[in-house]
Each structure stands twice: as C-alpha cells, then as structure tokens.
Amino acid sequence: MLRRADKGAERLERALDGGPAPHDSDTRRALAAAGALAPGHTRNPARIEQTHDAMMAAFQRTLNPLETRDDAGTGDGLDDTDLHRQEIDLPGGGQLVLSDLEELTPERIEQALEMAAEILEQSSKDHQS
C-alpha cells in the first residue's frame, strides 16, 4: 500500500512539473484538486504601487487643499460670453428656440428649421406605423 501511494505521488509530481497527463483517475483527481487550490491570478507589484501612490496623492489633496485665489476666474474671457437666442414660430403652432454661443445667421436659422422639419416628419412617420 505504501509503495502504491509513492507511485501515485510520483505521478502527481511529474504531472505538476509539466510532465505527461496521468491516465489513472486518482492522480487526475489529485491534479484537479491541486489546480483548484492554485491561485487564479497573481498581483502585479507595479499595479499595487500605482494604486498605493494614487490613494496617497488623493489623501494628501484632501488634507492639504489648494489655496483659492481672490482673482481666480477673472480675465479668462469666460464671464464675458454672450449667448445668442432666437425664438421662431413654426407652422402648425410649434415654437423653436435656438441658442448658441456663435451669432445666429439667417443661413444657420434656415438649416435648423430644415433639421427640425426632418425630425418632425420622421416622428410623424413613426407614429403612423
């Protein structure tokens, strides 16, 4: 019995070292159990360090927030932005409101009206089917 166990252990060792696949069921079951106990993935040390560094940087930002300037946001041109807006009555009683950062030219208004008409036409076709 002891000799039989030694042979099974030898077959299992050979299979674990990359040798031929065992044919007997005991060794195959032991090999499957060994595979189930092996971890499915290993942790990458570089990824662990990157995660740690990112967490520490976020922690430091929370502890030491940046000082706010009194003149923050001035002179950047964002507060001087004009919004161009135009309301257009559509045939059939609807209303289209166009708004843009750029000036609304008659060509752009006409293009927007054509796009709205196409959308309404497609919508009416969908409701009819």
Domain ranges of the chain: 83-128
- What is each CA distance from 9 to 5, 21, 52, 65, 119, in whole angstroms? 6, 14, 42, 62, 75
Q: Other CB atoms closer than 10 Å to residue 70's CB: what's the count? A: 5
Tokens 């089917």 found at: 129
Rounded to whole angstroms, the Cα distance separating 50 from 32 reads 35
What H or E segment, with its residue span, contains residue 97?
strand 95-100
What's the pLDDT score for residue 73? 66
Angle at Cα 18 formed by Cα 15 and Cα 19, nearest 5°?
A: 60
Residue 95 main-chain phi, psi, to 5 deg: -135, 135
Tens of pLDDT along the chain (129 residues) come to 455 556 767 777 777 777 777 777 877 787 777 777 777 767 888 999 999 999 999 999 999 888 877 776 666 666 667 788 989 887 777 888 888 888 889 999 899 888 888 888 887 776 665
